Structure 1
Amino acid sequence: MLPLERLQDAQRLIADTLAPTPLLLDHVLSERIGRRVWLKGELFQRTGSFKPRGSLHWVRTASREELAGGLGAVSAGNHALGLAWAAGQLGIPVTIVMPENASRFKVEGSRALGAEVILHGDINEAWEFMHRLVEERGLTLVHPYDNERIIAGQGTVGLEILEQAPEATAVLCPVGGGGLIAGIGSATAALRPGLSLIGVEPSGAASMAHAWAQGAPSRLKKVETCAKSLAAAIVGEHSYPLCRETTQAMVQIDDAAIGRAMHHLLYQAKLMAEPGAAVGVGALLEEAVTLPPEGDVVVVITGGNMSREELTPFL
């Protein structure tokens, strides 16, 4: 796991710009499962997700050489928004390649923050194109999840949870490429090793469970899920071992369950969370997780970036 001091350094480095996000008590879900369920509101963070934490930490720890030629990234959307915003604080140009089916809301939002956004193929083809751009333009690649500086920044979510929820015995975390759960796991393993950290993936993009089964990151042949923010075809060389070491269980839910979780968050919790942010709540609603016998439960609500058209199917 990443050293605790590294997470704490990241927290100090970004604290002047990124405020802690709140824990909100989900009364309906708490009554349903018979214990307090807290929602960690990362959808209230800058640019609407947890991603600016890692991006700002990366930018603020970058060398002049890394910044000199501009930055490049591949993203389904939230990393694009977070990196465009963070780089914009220093006036650093950013080029983002996004899959053609990326959220138009996130595409236009990234462009509004100053990024050059190129739509290209599916997520695997987008990565191939970005690697060509890195060579042609001299860009520095800022990986959305497979970078220890990014992971350390995301780990500040874990530090905040432990400060805000002293009675928590379980944390449910959405998993795409694994950067967030790797960071949270580094915090919980260091400060509260008895806590149960549970990863939740969409069944159509269960790249971390696939890596666990294979014993190493292994690319999925097909990714198909409504939770586009979690649609990573392969987890990271850094995020995989950190997740494997610090996470107690990985579970998956299907798109129908994600839809029910979206409905709950909208109408019961009053939160407009995106599909990828709803999977932890979905796992509780579907009784897909085994929780410790007592204690509070924290569910990370990772983001809330979507257009009216994307929201409509869940109303």
Structure 2
Amino acid sequence: MEVSDVQHARARIAEALAATPLLLDQTLSERLGRRVWLKAESFQHTGSFKARGSLNWLRTASDEELAGGLGAVSAGNHALGLAWAARQRNVPVTIVMPENASPFKVDGSRALGAEVILHGDINAAWALMHERVEERGLTLVHPYDNERIIAGQGTLGLEVLEQAPDAQAILCPVGGGGLIGGIGVVTSALRPSLSLIGVEPRGAASMAHAWTQGGPARLDGVESCAKSLAAAIVGEHTYPLSRRHVTELVAVDEDAIHRAMRHLLYQTKLVAEPGAAVGVAALLEGAATLPPQGDVVIIVTGANLGRDELADFL
């Protein structure tokens, strides 16, 4: 994948998806003695960055791909993004989510017109979706391991480089690797000196597992409050992109994620879901190796959680 793929994606989706704001985190900036910015994808359509990739996929889809309807597996944010994008072309969408998926995301996806099936854990959900693809002739829209999806997510990276010209590090949450892969294509081409740091929940560190194994390898199970990052295996596309473009991978535990959630709520007045807070957690814990100077940007990937879910972190 080339940076031109991301630039073309941006031209394709820009009129529907405005750039999200970059907000200064005063508390972290004072603590680190440098500016720390939060890229607030919580303000994006459907409440997360996933609308970017979904819309790029839909706008490059053939009539044949759309004819039988679309299918996807999602912890929730891809479901919301795909349902929103597909509704604009009146294309039916079937989503299989794990049984422990966020009720807020389930209800939101259904409100956008998607058929949502709750089934087992993430591995069981994938098995059922493959059955539905065969039975119904659905076109599978992978949540992260698809170059059109990755290019759409990478448009976020183009915005960051424009909004933060002095940035020397980006901390990005990692689930399946689509977002950090797309950002990495951009940063390597346009600002190769920048450090791109991936942050995973310790209980779902599928990218670190892939790095150790020399390729995508399925975790036996995932366990984290950061459900949006609970991919059991990274992708055939996202793994090599991460190896090529990511400077460092770090992991944060559940307590660190809880502290980061409270920091965002009380210090920056920003609501974020657990998976979106892991970059802040890494900075609070001193887990990442930062360049000696320059601004730091943390990607806050989304804010899709209901009242009961948010209460657990207050």
Q: TM > 0.5 between the two?
A: yes
* Matched ranges for 1:286-297 at <5 A: 286-297=285-296
* Matched ranges for 1:70-81 at <5 A: 70-81=69-80
Q: Which amino acid aligns with 1:62?
A: A
* Matched ranges for 1:40-119 at <5 A: 40-119=39-118
Shift of 1:34: 1.0
Shift of 1:4: 1.2
Structure 2: which 5+ runs fail to align?
none
- What's 2:279 paired with? 280
- What's 2:257 paired with? 258
1:36 and 2:11 are equivalent in the alignment = no
- What's 2:304 paired with? 305
* Matched ranges for 1:215-226 at <5 A: 215-226=214-225
Separation in structure 1 between the aligned mates of residue 5 and residue 144 of structure 2, nearest angstrom:
16
Q: Which amino acid aligns with 1:40?
A: K
Shift of 1:33: 1.1
- What's 1:229 paired with? 228
Alpha-carbon displacement from aligned partner over 1:190-215 (angstroms, at most 9, x marks no partner)? 00000000000000000000000111
Shift of 1:284: 0.3
* Matched ranges for 1:174-253 at <5 A: 174-253=173-252
1:7 and 2:42 are equivalent in the alignment = no
- What's 2:17 paired with? 18
Alpha-carbon displacement from aligned partner over 1:104-141 (angstroms, at most 9, x marks no partner)? 00000000000000000100000000000000000000
Shift of 1:313: 1.2
Q: Secondary structure at the match of 2:312?
A: helix
User: Normalising by the residue count of structure 2, what TM-score does the alignment of the two structures yield?
Assistant: 1.00
1:267 and 2:263 are equivalent in the alignment = no
Alpha-carbon displacement from aligned partner over 1:245-265 (angstroms, at most 9, x marks no partner)? 000000000000000000000
Separation in structure 2 between the aligned mates of residue 212 and residue 248 of structure 1, nearest angstrom:
12
Separation in structure 2 between the aligned mates of residue 236 and residue 255 of structure 1, nearest angstrom:
24
Shift of 1:151: 0.1
Separation in structure 2 between the aligned mates of residue 313 and residue 150 of structure 1, nearest angstrom:
32
Identity rate of aligned residues, in percent?
A: 75
Separation in structure 1 between the aligned mates of residue 313 and residue 131 of structure 2, nearest angstrom:
38
How many residues are matched? 314
Separation in structure 1 between the aligned mates of residue 54 and residue 215 of structure 2, nearest angstrom:
26
Shift of 1:6: 0.7
Q: Secondary structure at the match of 2:224?
A: coil
- What's 2:143 paired with? 144
Alpha-carbon displacement from aligned partner over 1:83-121 (angstroms, at most 9, x marks no partner)? 000000110000000000000000000000000000001
Shift of 1:222: 1.5
Q: Secondary structure at the match of 1:96?
A: strand
Separation in structure 2 between the aligned mates of residue 253 and residue 177 of structure 1, nearest angstrom:
16
Q: Which amino acid aligns with 1:32?
A: R
Q: Secondary structure at the match of 1:303?
A: coil
Separation in structure 2 between the aligned mates of residue 4 and residue 218 of structure 1, nearest angstrom:
27
Q: CA RMSD in A?
A: 0.4
Separation in structure 2 between the aligned mates of residue 233 and residue 7 of structure 1, nearest angstrom:
26
Separation in structure 2 between the aligned mates of residue 145 and residue 5 of structure 1, nearest angstrom:
19
Q: Secondary structure at the match of 1:10?
A: helix
Q: Which amino acid aligns with 1:214?
A: Q
Separation in structure 1 between the aligned mates of residue 304 and residue 29 of structure 2, nearest angstrom:
25
- What's 2:157 paired with? 158
Separation in structure 2 between the aligned mates of residue 293 and residue 250 of structure 1, nearest angstrom:
18
Structure 1: which 5+ runs fail to align?
none
Q: Secondary structure at the match of 1:127?
A: helix
